[in-house]
Amino acid sequence: MSKVQLNKTIPDVEIHLTGDKKVRLSDYLGKILVLYFYPKASTPGCTQEGLDFRDAIARFRRQSTVILGASRDSLKAQENFKAKQGFPFDLASDPEETLCKAFDVIKEKNMYGRKVLGIERSTFLIDGKGVLRQEWRKVKVKGHVEEVLEAVKALKK
């Protein structure tokens, strides 16, 4: 499977979402899609990032934008995370890393002195035609959602 590239159409990957829904990325054509990847459900940074997207959801919806979060967590872990935090958007469960590999977010990281493979916090802005318009890699949570919202607004102009 090819990896995503700026200003190119994204691969049409099938994803498994909370609510036990199976969809394809092509199902979001006609809407702007913000797809954000986080390392692990219910951890502090990932929770804060999700809460920031949750708190800004009305502003994203005014821009006809769909938010999807994704990690390698099981569907059950994603369901629990979504319910506990009250996220008004779906989370994708990607334990086989199909979506993660298509967006090239699996990177070698240092965990307590050990090298492990994990998700590098990343966000992708995809336009209504399924074209990747912007990407953020090695995301720092603070202020990130505002930056993404501004990019969505700029894309709409």
Residue 1: inside a domain = no
Does the pLDDT value for residue 132 go beyond 80?
Answer: yes
Full domain range(s) for residue 23: 14-156
Q: Which residues are catalytically annotated?
A: 46
Burial 43-61 (b: 16+ CB within 10 A, else e): eeebbbbbebbbebeeebe
Residue 19, exposed/middle/buried by CB under 10 A (0-12, 13-18, 19+)? exposed
Tell me which residue has tokens 């307590």.
Answer: 112
Residue 5: inside a domain = no
pLDDT at residue number 116: 86
**Number of compact structural domains in the chain:** 1
pLDDT at residue number 110: 81
pLDDT at residue number 2: 65
Question: Is residue 144 within 8 Å of residue 136, measured between CB atoms?
Answer: yes
CA atoms of 2 and 21, how far apart (whole Å) = 24
pLDDT at residue number 109: 83
- Residues written for the chain: 157
What are the pLDDT digits (tens) for 72-129?
999 999 999 999 999 999 999 999 999 999 999 999 888 788 888 899 999 999 999 9
Residue 8: inside a domain = no
Tell me which residue has tokens 């990896």.
Answer: 3
pTM of the model: 0.95
pLDDT at residue number 157: 80
Does the pLDDT value for residue 136 go beyond 90?
Answer: yes
Largest CA distance in the chain: 46
Helix (H) or strand (E) holding 148: helix 144-156
pLDDT at residue number 1: 56
Give the Å distances, CA to CA, from 47 to 3, 36, 125: 27, 13, 20
Give the angle subtended at the CA of 61 by the CAs of 58 and 66, to the nearest 5°. Answer: 125
- Whole-number average pLDDT of the chain: 95
| CATH number of the domain where residue 49 is located | 3.40.30.10
